[in-house]
Amino acid sequence: MVEKMDKIPGKLYVILLLSLFLININAGIRLEMRTTDGVANNTAVVGQPFLIEVIIDGMQGSVQAPHIEGLDKFFVKRTGMYMSSINGVSTTKYTYQVRIDQPGRYTIGPAKLIHQKQEFVSNTIPVIVENSQSLVNKSKNNKNDELKVFLRLMVDVDRVVVGQKINATLRFYYQDPSISLANLGQTDVTGFDIKPAGKPIGGTVDIKGVHYKFAEWHWEMFPTKAGEFLIPAYSADYEIPLKDNHLLGSFFMFMNNRTDRKRVYSNALKITVDPLPHSNLPVQAIGVFDNIHAQITPAVAKEGEGMVLSLEISGDGNMHAITTPVLDLPSALKYYDSNTTIINDDNNECAKKRFEFIVQGMETGDWEIPEQSFVYFDINKQDYVTLKTSSLSVSIQPSLFKTTLSVPSKNDVISETIVKEDTIAPLNVKGPWYPVATWKPIPWILFYCMLWIPMMFVLYPALCNWSLRFEIMKRRQRKKACKNARKQIIMYMKRNDNKFIYSVFIELFAFLNNQLSSSLESSTIDYYLVQLGFSDYDIKEWHIFFASAAHAAYAQSDKNKVHELCRMALQWIDRLEEVV
Amino acid sequence: MDRSIRRSCLIIIFFSFVMFAGNDEELFLRANKLYEAAEYDKALLSYESISQKGRAVFYNMGNCYFHKNDYPHALVYWMRAEKDATSQEYAMIQYNKNYVLQKIGKNKEDTWLDKIKQLFETFNLYVSILNLQILIFLVWGIFLFLYYYSYLKKIRSFLLTSFLCILATMLFLNYEKNSTLYGIITEQQAHLFSGPDKDLDVIGFVKYADHVIIKEAREGWYKIRYSDKGGWIEAEAIQIV
C-alpha cells in the first residue's frame, strides 16, 4: 500500500512532465498587456504609456517580429526583445510601448506570425483607456493605494492661438524625504516648439491635509500649428532605499545601493490651438507687448562710418520667434544685421528683445530714419496691434578718409578708394593766450554830437541866409543891425571918439539897402529914408547930422562936441530902429 | 602809515598778478603739448583752467572740440577767437569754420551781399571801432571845411562822400558784430517754442550746429532769430558765443 502510495506521486510527476513537454512542443503566440511597472492590467490612462508583450513559445529557430493588428492607430515604440532557446526550441518576447491619447475602449490584436509556413494567431486584448481624473477618483476609493509619489503636468492655458506662449510646469510630489529622483523621462510632443526647461525649484505644499515636498520644472511651449494636441504624460524614475533588518544589510549596502527603482507618470494634457485670424500685415509676434523703442548712436557720423541702430521690443510673448525686422531706411543709409539679444527681467514676466543693426551713411546730409513698425497679435485683445518707434535724425558728414563703394564688378568684388582730405589749421602756439586790452570806442551819443558840431558850424550861416527869405526874418535882421550900430556908438561914446560914427551909419545903411558900403551914395540913403516915411524936415535934419559925422570922420573935430554927436547918432538909430 | 600800507598792497597785487600770469602761461603751454599728443580731453581741461583766456586759448579749444567731433562747440570757440583776431588768425579761423561747415553739410554758396560783407569784415580786422570813429570824424571835418570854404568840387565831393560811406559801413558792421549776441545749436533737433514755456506751441525746429542770433535771455530760455523766424529755445540746446 505504501509502495502504491509512493508510486502515485511519481506517476503524477511523470504525467506532469509529459504534459509540460507536450505544451512546450505545442507552439503558440499570445498577447499580454502590462503597465510599465510590469503589472498585468487592461486599463490605461490617456497619454500614459503601457506595455504590450507578444510571447511566442515553442518555435524552432529564430522568429521574426509579429504583426499586431490595431496597433498602428496608436503611438507605438518597440522597447525590447527577449529570446531564450532550449534544445532548439525558442521562447521569444517582443515588448511594445503603446500610448493612446483618446479615452475609450479599444481592442489590440490579434498578433499574427507566419513561421515555417504555418500561421500563428494570438488572442486579442481589450483595453480601457480612461482620463487621469477618473483614474484618480478610483484610486481614492482604493484605500490601500496611497499616492505617496506622483507627478503632475500643468499649463497656464489650454486654449491658445498659434505661436502663443504656454507656460508649462512639471511637478514631482513626494512625501518620503529619502526618495531620490533618478531620471525624468522626456516625451515626444508634436506641434509645439518647446524651449529647454530651467533649473528645478523645490518647495513644500499641503494637498488636502497631506504635506508634500515637490520639485518642479518650468518651460515655455509655443504651438506651431492649429489643432487639438495632447501633451503626453511625462515619467519620473525615482529610487526608494530598501528597509531590511538583515544582519548583513550593512555589508550588502557596500555591495550595491540597496534601493528600489520605481517609475511614476504624470497626467497628459489636451491643448486646443486655434489658427490666427486673417491679416494682410506681416505679423511678427504673438503675445502682449508694451512698446518698441529705437535708438541710434552716434547720431552724427562721418560718411562710411558705422552707427548702431538698436530696436528694443519689450513685452510678454514668443521672443525667440521674433525674426529680425526689415528696416525702412532712406536710400542714403545702408544697414547690416548685427546682433540679437533677449533680456529677461527678474520675474521673467516681461522680456526684451534687442536687435542691433550697423547703419552706414553713404551720402552726406541730414537724414531721417522713419518710424519702424512692429505688428503682433495681442492675445488679450484678440486682435492685431501695430507698435511704432519714433523717427530718428542722423547727420552724415564728409569723412576724413572718404570711403566710396564702387559699383560691384563682374567678379562681385567691392573696391574701396581712400581719398585723404586736408584737416583744420594748426594750433595757435604763439598766443596771445591772455586777453589783449583794446581802446574802448567813443560812446555813440558823443560820437554823434561830434559829428554834428562841425556840421552846425557850416549849416548855421546857410540857415541864416535861407531864413532871410521871410520878411519877419529880414526885419529882425535889420533891427539887429540897428542894435549893433547902437552898441558901437555907445562904445565910441565911452572912448570919447566920434570919428567912426560916419562909418557905422554907412555900414548900417549898406546892410539895410542890401548894398556894399563902397557903392552906397547919399541919394540912396535919402531915398531909403523917404521910403521909411521920414518927412522933408527930417531929411534936412539928417543931412545936418550926416555932414557933422562926415566932418568928424575926415576933419579935426571939436572934442567938446563928441558927446553931443554921439547922442544925436543914438537918437537917429532909435528912430531908424522903430521904422525898419 | 597809510602810505606804507598802500604801497605793500600794491606790491602784493602786482606779484599775485605776475604769479597768476605765470600759471596761466604754463597751463597754456601744457595744454598745447597735450593737444599735440592727441589728448584732447586733458588739453581742454588745461585750457579751461586758464583764468584769463585770450583768443589763442579760444582758438585752440575750438581745435580740441573739433578733434572730439563736437562741432557746435568748436564753432563757438572759434567765433570767440574771432574777436580782435589778427588777419592771419582770422584766416585760420575762417578756414576751420568753413571746413567744419562743409563737414556737417552746412556750407552754402555765398551771395554777392555776403561777399561784400566778408570784404568789409576783412577790412575791419585792421581797424578798431575807435579808429573808425576817429577816421570818420576827420573825414567829415574835412568835408565840411571844404564845403564851407567852397573848395568842394565835384570830384572831391564824390571821393569824400564815397570814402565816408565806406567808413560808415565798416563802422556799422564792426559795431553790429561786436554788439550782437550769437549762439550755436548743440542739439540734434531743437524745438522752437512760441514762448519761454514747454507747454506752448512748437513753431519749428532748429537744426544742429546752426548759427542763430540771440534777442533776449530769460531763465533757462533764449529768444532767438532763426531764418526769418523768431522763437524761444531752451538754454540747454544752445551755446552762446
* A59-73, A292-306, B12-26, B200-214: range with lowest mean pLDDT: B12-26
- Asked if B57 reaches chain A (Cβ–Cβ under 8 Å), the answer is yes
C-beta atoms of B32 and A458 within 8 A = no
Give the model's confidence band at B165: pLDDT under 50 very low, under 70 low, under 90 confident, else very high: very high
* Rounded distance between C-alpha atoms, residue A443 and residue B129, angstroms: 11
pLDDT for the residue A255: 56
pLDDT for the residue A572: 92
* Rounded distance between C-alpha atoms, residue A249 and residue A460, angstroms: 141
* Rounded distance between C-alpha atoms, residue B82 and residue B88, angstroms: 11
A397, A441, A458 member nearest B104 (Cβ): A397
Higher pLDDT, A433 or A578: A578
% of chain A residues with pLDDT over 90: 6
Higher pLDDT, A386 or B14: A386
Reply yes or no on whether the pLDDT at B21 is more than 90: no
Secondary structure letter of residue B52 according to DSSP: S
Q: Which three cell numbers stand for residue A270?
A: 489636451
Mean pLDDT of A398-421: 41
- Asked if A391 reaches chain B (Cβ–Cβ under 8 Å), the answer is no
- Asked if A427 reaches chain B (Cβ–Cβ under 8 Å), the answer is yes
B chain contacts of residue A431, beta-carbon cutoff 8 Å: 28, 54, 56
Mean pLDDT of A76-89: 79
pLDDT for the residue A327: 84
Indicate the SS3 state at residue A263: strand
C-beta atoms of B96 and A424 within 8 A = yes
- The overall longest dimension of chain A from CA atoms, in Å, is 225
Q: How high is the mean pLDDT of chain A? A: 79
A chain contacts of residue B208, beta-carbon cutoff 8 Å: 300, 366, 395
Give the model's confidence band at B64: pLDDT under 50 very low, under 70 low, under 90 confident, else very high: very high
Residue of A434, A436, A452, A460 to mutate when probing chain B, most B C-beta within 10 A: A434
Reply yes or no on whether the pLDDT at A98 is more than 80: yes
Residue of A364, A368, A394, A433 to mutate when probing chain B, most B C-beta within 10 A: A433
- Asked if A456 reaches chain B (Cβ–Cβ under 8 Å), the answer is no
B187-234 confidence digits (pLDDT tens): 877 888 888 888 888 888 888 888 889 988 888 899 998 877 888 999
C-beta atoms of B55 and A458 within 8 A = no
C-beta atoms of B133 and A396 within 8 A = no
pLDDT for the residue A346: 54
Interface list for B 111-130 with A (CB within 8 A): 128-130
Answer whether A253's CB lies under 8 Å from A246's CB.
no
Do you know the residue count of chain A? 580
Give the model's confidence band at A20: pLDDT under 50 very low, under 70 low, under 90 confident, else very high: low
* A57-61, A119-123, B14-18, B37-41: range with lowest mean pLDDT: B14-18
pLDDT for the residue B113: 85
**A452 to chain B, closest Cα gap in Å:** 10
* Rounded distance between C-alpha atoms, residue A270 and residue A223, angstroms: 12
Reply yes or no on whether the pLDDT at A421 is more than 50: no
Mean pLDDT of A170-185: 84
Reply yes or no on whether the pLDDT at A35 is more than 90: no
pLDDT for the residue A487: 93
Indicate the SS3 state at residue A196: coil
- pTM equals 0.41
pLDDT for the residue A339: 77
Mean pLDDT of A310-321: 83
C-beta atoms of B137 and A422 within 8 A = no
C-beta atoms of B105 and A397 within 8 A = yes
Mean pLDDT of A223-228: 86
pLDDT for the residue A284: 83
* Rounded distance between C-alpha atoms, residue B98 and residue A427, angstroms: 17
Mean pLDDT of A181-197: 80
* Rounded distance between C-alpha atoms, residue A403 and residue A389, angstroms: 31
B chain contacts of residue A428, beta-carbon cutoff 8 Å: 55-56, 59-60, 81, 89, 92
ipTM: 0.71
pLDDT for the residue A16: 67
Secondary structure letter of residue A321 according to DSSP: G
Question: CA of B130: which chain A residue's CA is closest?
Answer: A441
A chain contacts of residue B148, beta-carbon cutoff 8 Å: 457-458
C-beta atoms of A427 and B189 within 8 A = no
Question: CA of A394: which chain B residue's CA is closest?
Answer: B188
**A467 to chain B, closest Cα gap in Å:** 18
Reply yes or no on whether the pLDDT at A64 is more than 60: yes
Instruction: Write the CA distances from B98 to A140, A543, B93, B107, B118, integer angstroms.
Output: 91, 90, 9, 7, 13
Give the model's confidence band at A311: pLDDT under 50 very low, under 70 low, under 90 confident, else very high: confident
**B199 to chain A, closest Cα gap in Å:** 20
B36, B103, B188 member nearest A299 (Cβ): B188
Among residues A295, A489, A274, A254, the alpha carbon closest in space to that of A382 is found at A274
Q: Which amino acid is at A76?
A: V
Give the model's confidence band at B12: pLDDT under 50 very low, under 70 low, under 90 confident, else very high: low
Reply yes or no on whether the pLDDT at A40 is more than 80: no
Reply yes or no on whether the pLDDT at A367 is more than 70: yes
B54, B66, B102 member nearest A432 (Cβ): B54
CA dihedral A327, A333, A336, A339 (to 10 degrees): -70
* Rounded distance between C-alpha atoms, residue B128 and residue A313, angstroms: 61
The DSSP secondary structure of A97-136, one letter per residue, reads EEE--S-EEEEE--EEEEETTEEEE---EEEEEE-HHHHH
| Strands (E) located in A248-363 | 259-265, 269-274, 285-297, 300-302, 306-317, 333-344, 351-361
Reply yes or no on whether the pLDDT at A412 is more than 50: no
Higher pLDDT, B240 or A281: B240
Higher pLDDT, A492 or A22: A492
Instruction: Write the CA distances from A475 to A155, A298, A529, integer angstroms.
Output: 121, 86, 16
